[in-house]
Structure 1
Amino acid sequence: MEVQWKGVEPPRLRPPHTATGVIFSVLLGVWSAQALEMSVGKIPFLEAVNGSTVMLPCSYSSCIGITDLYFNWQFNDNGTMQKVCDSVIPSEGVVPDVRIYRERVEFVGKNRENNISILLWNITFDDQGQYTCFGRNPKEKGKNHSAIFTLIVVDELRVVDNTLTIIIASAVGGGIALLMGFMLLKNFTLFVLAKLEEKNKECLVTSSGIDNTENGLSGSKAETKSTPKKK
């Protein structure tokens, strides 16, 4: 039986290669989005004293390499992003010519190590806040990537009270020493008891030998008197 389509175009089946192409495109997009990574390290914050010099770390990595990688540092000033510095890295191994937009800032990254860190000299309380390390690699279809580093400025560093730690460490150390002393005393007592038991056994063997000799038992020669002959 033939189906008649009136006024409607019959549906067309997609060839198998079309579905494969869609899946490949999706996977390629996901891979490209994750190819570039910006990192500020395992600890994304720093507490520093007012007037000191600090380094804001950042590095990038790309599994497919870079081409004209654009990066910048931005400072979040009460919701307004202010550019600190920026540059373009043409390719791997090229030291970038970095433009600085903020005072007391120095670029200290080395491109051969994928390092794009900056140095802040003589920091003040106005420098406190969030700094964003941003990167975009045109080779990866211009995907944007970033990492945030937080700077905390204080009058003086807090002194950590280690009293509780010392007490716990002392208690644990004392317990271990007491256990070791108990084990040594136990081993010494067992050693002394073993020696005493060994000595008692020797005494018993010696005493048994003497008694047997006196009683004319095995191991001794008893004198016998001959019966006088009758004349």
Structure 2
Amino acid sequence: MNVGKIPFLEAVNGSTVMLPCTYFSCIGIKNLYFSWSFNESGTMQKVCDSTIATEGVLPNVAIYRDRVTFIGMNRENNISIMLWNITFEDAGQYTCYGVNPKEKGKNHSAIFSLYVVEELKVVDKTLTIIIASCVGGAIALLMGFMLIKNFTLFVLAKLEEKNKECLVTSSGIDNTENGLSGSKADSKPTPKKK
């Protein structure tokens, strides 16, 4: 049995809420018995129950509490219930229970907590926004620094490559005009002045 990633709900007095519950069996089901119970001052009060004969069959659910509707769909392994017009007395723990005879009678359960409030609290998110902005700004600054650094290194590498080309070209010109180093250059006579 599974009641989802968040096994609790805070709801406003007078609203309608869904209490989620799903089941899973890798070997399939046969006469899966399930029930919902409410912990009322330490005593478990049955909310609803039924037996699902096989996969894909909608169960005939018996409901024992006012303002409760079964909304599960067996083909989706869903055995959720809906509570209508909730009151403060509806707050507490609800247990989704199931036993599959195909699993040698192994039973499973999941607890869902319902909190009923007069009105939902408005959460001040200023601190969260400030922290997120600072972290985002720091990451953006770091990325900007890395981009500038990489661009600078790229430009310096290109300039160094260009300087090497200039040195090779200029040394080639010197060797052509003056002869190769270590070779004897032809001496040209100095022009005479008249």
Common fold: TM-score over 0.5? yes
SS at match of 1:106: strand
C-alpha displacement of 1:159: 2.5
1:1-231 map, 5 Å = 38-183=1-146, 186=149, 191=155, 224-225=190-191
Deviation at 1:179, TM superposition (A): 3.3
Identity %: 69
- Structure of larger gyration radius: 1
Instruction: Give the unaligned 5+ runs of structure 1.
Output: 1-37
- What are structure 2's unaligned runs of at least 5 residues? 180-187
**In 1, Cα distance between equivalents of 2:105 and 2:157:** 83
**In 1, distance between residues paired with 2:114 and 2:27?**
32
**SS of 1:62 mapped into structure 2:** coil
Q: How many residues align?
A: 185
Q: Secondary structure at the match of 1:39?
A: coil
Three-state SS of the structure 2 residue aligned to 1:72 is strand
TM-aligned CA deviation for residue 129 of structure 1: 0.4
Distance 1:193 1:159, change over 3 A: same
Bigger relative CO (Cα 8 Å, ≥ 6 apart): 2
- What amino acid does structure 2 have at the position aligned with 1:109? G
Distance 2:24 2:148 in 1: 60
RMSD: 3.7
